[in-house]
Chain A
């Protein structure tokens, strides 16, 4: 299963994903592993709980003075010789970047992993403009060869077998390739090394940007972030406005919990602080540095119901613990960002109608909020999205009618008890040994895989009279 066709209902996309045997195995292994690693990392880290509270507070405090911190960031980046651009929409962001690329005469761009560039669909735009984008993060490189989108926020190719990767590499390089991760890694290293050295343009995201110093911070494991920001002549960083942090001291709080939440590492292998383009005296570094600040629906949420989703560090912890994600993987969600936070981000970027189905892709179990390093209350916002979908009548009419009728029933006890009695009557043909194995119509959605208890011969209400009279034991 590679791409999600949004014209296919979500329920069906989920169904297809659950029939993909390798995906199922990969999901179980990967999510279980990530959960264990995260648990271990925080288990060894007693200060972790307090730091999560501090991190959450820093995120909120930043939003409360977002204008001040962004102005500071912009001034500092410019002082260091960088240029800052402002993109209200994805289209604008693409336009800005294409113009930078055109002026630089770029023919090839190396990219470090960036969900923000996925979000704005940058690669397609670059290709159409005759510029070759090369993903250099191994997982992203793999899915680029496969013409797919990432299926997990931090492990984009988690759904691919090593055999599938070997086939992709073999097709690209026109020779046989062993299905061994060491061999495949070595091949990628060699192929991409050349690209790093030749590319005119390097494109990254930004995990954080420090207002006080004008620093762009990249958190990576492979080294591609360092290559992309040092070797090409031009570096473009694309960043959502909410990624700004006030100071280096604040940054340390996030660094202490980010990698632990994502992969269980104390720190990722590389944390790269980029402060402007190459300085006098330096042998390497870009001559031009551009920071593209991206709105694309974020600013609208400052006073909106999804404000808290702006705290997100893009660690992926919520995906790993989500019972829904663990069954269906990332592609079935059908949008750039999958998993619990992905539903909120999709609504942020594309409006509530876009999550008409996805808002219900959750049992509201709360495991996501529990795992989130900055304690984002995802279930609360999912309920809020459902409310919006209902109130703006995006939800189907029949559904709204049923729930409203149900609501009326629950405020009329006589009707309610009558309904129970009617149900007891209607169920009679279906009851065996106090349970129901099969029901028609939409009730079949339950009974296809589960028995249903029968409506009791006497409800608790009906038993209360004699229970009230029972002598205390």
Chain B
């Protein structure tokens, strides 16, 4: 088997034979990602209504369903409405510490079956298997959102403790709740946040996966006919909450 040293030595040997095709440099990275991210936040604090409108437009274009409520208190009603219309009942969600609120009781009171996910990892393999089965059996998945990108109608979700990957993946209906502080305008701005999240000294308090989600799962592999819900959710809903969730 080729070792790292052998592999890299071969690369260096070939590189040494050429200067390349033309002078080239990679993209310019933000020098102070934290400050730049804060500046973006400050801009969005002003511009969020336009960003929200753009987000809605793009999100609906890719098949997402947009809802808007004044506060978190109204969220369970919207969720129930979505559930009833689809004869769905079983719901998994991010842990309340990640969601910003505990909606379990409110949902149960409306006839849904919330299946709680733990705040961290499973204690043993049997527990993990059980939780996996729960997630696979749920029709609804409720999450928060780290960023919502207006340019593309994309939701950015970081995995981690209390934020299982499966919540936004296995159920047929994904519902994401967010407020204005999640909005960003463009992919370029998201790049700044991605740089920030990985900058030296940034805390590694998140999981190993960041997911960009742009509408429901889809394919056109059969005769180019578009179908939804291949493996991931076949519907994605967002509930925009006007009052900040962590106010």
Contacts and interface: CB of A to CB of B under 8 A. Distances in A.
A36 B8 CA distance: 42
Given A33-B224, A224-B230, A80 B191 contact: no
A243 to B, nearest CB: 14
A270 interface: yes
A48 interface: no
Interface in B152-169: 152-154, 159-162, 164-166, 169
- The bracket for how many chain B residues form the interface is 35 or more
B83 interface: no
Nearest to B117: A283
B222 A267 contact: no
Interface stretch (A87-95, A335-343, A411-419): A87-95
Contact of B136 (A33, A63, A197, A249): A197
Given A221-B218, A223-B169, A249-B27, A92 B212 contact: no
Contacts of B188: 252
B216 interface: yes
A85 B225 CA distance: 39
Q: Is the interface of B mostly helix, strand, loop or mixed?
A: loop
B26 A223 contact: no
Contacts of B3: 86
B222 A160 contact: yes
A386 interface: no
A136 interface: yes
Contact of A84 (B4, B22, B204): B4
A223 B230 contact: yes
Interface in A8-36: 26, 29-30, 33
A200 interface: no
Contacts of A33: 224
Contacts of A95: 1
A138 B222 contact: yes
B15 A222 contact: no
A64 interface: yes
Given A281-B161, A303-B17, A185 B219 contact: yes
A58 B26 contact: yes
A269 interface: yes
Contact of B231 (A222, A266, A307): A222
Contacts of B14: 299-300, 302-303
Interface string A286-301: 0000000101000110
A67 B231 contact: no
A316 interface: no
Interface string A179-198: 00110111011001100110
Contact of A189 (B117, B132, B210, B230): B230
Interface string B228-239: 011111000000
A29 B224 CA distance: 9
B166 A155 contact: no
Contact of A86 (B6, B191, B198): B6
Interface string B8-52: 101110110111111011111110000000000000000000000
Nearest to B221: A139
Nearest to B19: A64
Given A86-B6, A282-B207, A188 B24 contact: no
Given A60-B20, A283-B131, 18 more contacts: A88-B7, A155-B221, A181-B222, A185-B222, A185-B227, A222-B217, A222-B218, A230-B165, A252-B187, A267-B212, A271-B212, A273-B209, A273-B211, A278-B208, A281-B162, A285-B165, A285-B207, A302-B17
26 contacts: A54-B27, A57-B25, A60-B22, A61-B24, A85-B1, A92-B2, A155-B221, A184-B222, A193-B136, A223-B230, A226-B211, A226-B232, A230-B209, A246-B26, A249-B192, A249-B195, A263-B220, A266-B58, A271-B211, A273-B209, A274-B209, A281-B161, A299-B11, A302-B14, A307-B20, A308-B21
Question: Which 5 A/B pairs are nearest by Cβ-Cβ distance?
Answer: A223-B232, A281-B161, A303-B17, A139-B221, A223-B231
Interface of B: 1-4, 6-8, 10-12, 14-15, 17-22, 24-30, 58, 62, 117-118, 120-122, 128, 131-132, 136, 151-154, 159-162, 164-166, 169, 187-188, 190-192, 194-195, 198, 204, 206-225, 227, 229-233
Interface of A: 26, 29-30, 33, 54, 57-58, 60-64, 66-67, 70-71, 74, 80, 84-88, 92, 95-96, 136-139, 142, 155-158, 160-162, 165, 181-182, 184-186, 188-189, 192-193, 196-197, 212-213, 221-224, 226-227, 229-231, 241, 245-253, 255-256, 263, 265-285, 293, 295, 299-300, 302-303, 307-308
